[in-house]
Amino acid sequence: MEKEEAISLWLRGDLSQDELQNHVNASEIEEYQKILATVDNWRPAINQSDYLVLSDVLSAPEKNVALPFYRRPAFMAVAASLVLICSLVFLFMHDQEEVFYAVSKNKIFTLPDQSTIVTLAPGGRLSYSGFDSDDRKVRLSGRAFFDIPEKGPFSVEYAAGKVEVLGTQFEVNDLDNYLEITCFEGRVAVVTDQKTIELSRGEKASYFDDKWLIDGTSYLKPLWISGQGERFENAPLLKVIQVLEKRFKIKIDTNKINLERRFTGMFGLEDISRACQVVFSPLGIKFQIEGERIILSE
Amino acid sequence: MAKNLCDTKHFEEVFEENNRSLTNFLYYQFGDLEKAKNFTQEAFIRLWSNCAKVVFEKARSYLFTTGKRLFLDEVAHEKVKLKFAERQKSLDVDSPSTDDAVRTEEFKDALEKAISSLSEKPRSIFLMNRIEKMKYSEIADTMDISIKTVEKHMSQSLIKIREQLNEFGSFKF
């Protein structure tokens, strides 16, 4: 019998200490006992008052908060009609719509299949109604990362199309003028009006300027889900600017610069001027921060 | 009559029974109290939202599975620093000498460090068994792994902890 196996049996109570001595020397056994005796008498250093109370769960406001959509008129019109259609349909079908919003930080939650975990980026909205675990469908606007351990149909619908999935991890990023779907694990089919694009692990499809571009990602997960910052791989400058605006809650004036460029790199979220430095300096763009506006020039 | 989770009284029962152990479990995984609390809250909120879809008897396993998956999707970057306290003070007839007290304190610090340096899965299995007094079968159920895996992690954790303590020189009296 190997030493590790003997220790395992001893821990389980199926080997006496005497028998253990055939495999492990006495002083080592003493050391194990000292460790166990100490740990057995421990509790985590958490005060009674630190634990949750029932009201923390029952009166959590998440689901009942009505939040405004983005301020862009086109979006508002589309959203309004979507909501209207949805509520008519639901009146008929007696199905409750469940909606999730992320406000100032990532929102992580599980879907009713009790296994899929969604990380929703700030400003995002995800909803579903009458969730069917055998034919899973959600609606998304904004950006979310999906971790789907269980195989089976799964689709994410967004404004201009949908993504169908085969047990996987992927990100859908649906901003106003830009759409990006990255497959981190498994396979993903991106279904649009004109065609279907299949992605496998490490591939990314982005739609910008009326064109689809397929390239890759070298990463295993998006950076934003850890809240550490934003990372871009060959992303259009316009998109980077939109993300800057969203994350730092400022307006960026882009009239005087050429947006036809791409950016690869990343910035953290602590300091706006550092982030601007990272993004704009390599491209030779000057930036001027004036309160809640940033003016770019070349 | 079957217990219904949407009934506040029954939900409360589940809450009282699992609140501490779930928070502790996530604390052992994250090594961070804030995260443990946030994700405990998230798991219970999920359970409450889905109260109609989860059978009362499966509530515990739902909570721990959700907690575990929330942990996996949160990319952990900070170094884990778990802290423990004595459950009950040992009744010493004579108070220990200062030398003994210092050595005990040093051993405690070293042991906390050694435990914090284990990876999350073996670490939380080890602590769930030794501190939460969960049986191997319960741990296997909760974490959705086999009993053999639990056994393996238990022995490997103990061996690793001892190796670490030896490196710290904690056993030299």
Q: pLDDT in tens for each of the 298 residues of chain A? A: 789 999 999 999 999 999 999 999 999 999 999 999 999 999 999 988 889 888 888 776 544 322 233 333 334 444 444 444 444 444 444 467 788 887 777 888 889 888 889 998 877 888 898 888 888 999 988 889 998 887 788 888 887 778 787 657 888 888 766 788 888 888 888 887 777 888 888 899 888 777 888 888 888 888 888 877 888 888 889 889 988 888 888 889 888 888 888 899 889 888 888 899 999 988 888 999 888 889 998 8
Interchain contact B29–A (C-beta under 8 A): no
Q: Flag whether residue A37 sits within 8 Å of chain B, measured between CB atoms.
A: no
Which pTM was predicted? 0.51
| Count of CB pairs separated by less than 8 Å, A with B | 145
Contact A102, A122 (CB under 8 A): yes
Residues in chain B: 173
Task: Please indicate if any CB of chain B lies within 8 Å of the CB of A209.
Answer: no
Strand partners, A166: A153, A187
Taking the Cβ of residue B48 and every Cβ of chain A, the question of whether any pair is shorter than 8 Å is answered with yes
**Spatial contact of B78 and B120, defined as CB atoms under 8 Å apart:** no
With CA atoms as reference, the chain A residue closest to B62 would be: A114
The DSSP bridge partners found for residue A200 are A187
Residue-wise pLDDT tens digits, A125-175: 888 988 888 889 999 888 899 988 877 888 888 877 787 876 578 888 887
Residues of A in contact with B8 (CB under 8 A): 58
Whether residue B98 has pLDDT greater than 80? no
Label residue A160 exposed, middle or buried (CB < 10 Å: 0-12, 13-18, 19+): exposed
Q: Does B53 touch chain A (CB under 8 A)?
A: yes
Alpha carbon of A189 to those of A71, A150, A153, A250: distances in Å? Answer: 31, 17, 11, 35
Two structure tokens written together for B60: 């515990």
For residue B110, name the pLDDT band (cuts at 50, 70, 90): very high
* Chain A residues with CB-CB distance to B159 below 8 A: 4, 7
Q: Is the CB of A112 less than 8 angstroms away from the CB of B53?
A: yes
d(CA A238, CA A217): 19
> What are the tens digits of pLDDT across the range B47-69?
988 888 888 988 998 999 888 87
Segments of chain A assigned E as strands: 42-44, 97-101, 107-110, 117-120, 125-129, 136-147, 153-158, 161-174, 178-191, 196-200, 203-208, 211-216, 229-236, 251-253, 262-268, 286-290, 293-297
**Which residues of chain B are within 8 Å of residue A40 when distances are taken between CB atoms?**
130-131
All residues at 6 or more sequence positions from A36 whose CB lies less than 8 Å from its CB, including other chains:
B130, B158
Q: Do A39 and B165 touch (CB under 8 A)?
A: no
Which residues in chain B are contacts of A225 at CB distance < 8 A?
73-75
Residue B107 forms contact with A (CB below 8 Å) = yes
**Interface with chain B: mutation pick from A20, A57, A185, A219, highest number of B CBs within 10 Å:** A57
**Strand-strand pairing, A262-268 and A229-236:** antiparallel
Residue indicated by tokens 């575990």: B68
* B21-48 per-position pLDDT tens digit: 999 999 998 888 888 898 899 899 889 8
Query: Who among B46, B72, B171 is closest to A31 (CB)?
Result: B171
User: Bridge-partner residues for A178, per DSSP?
Assistant: A208
* Contact at CB, A114 and B62, closer than 8 angstroms: yes
pLDDT at B148: 95
Contact call for B87 and A41, based on CB within 8 A: yes
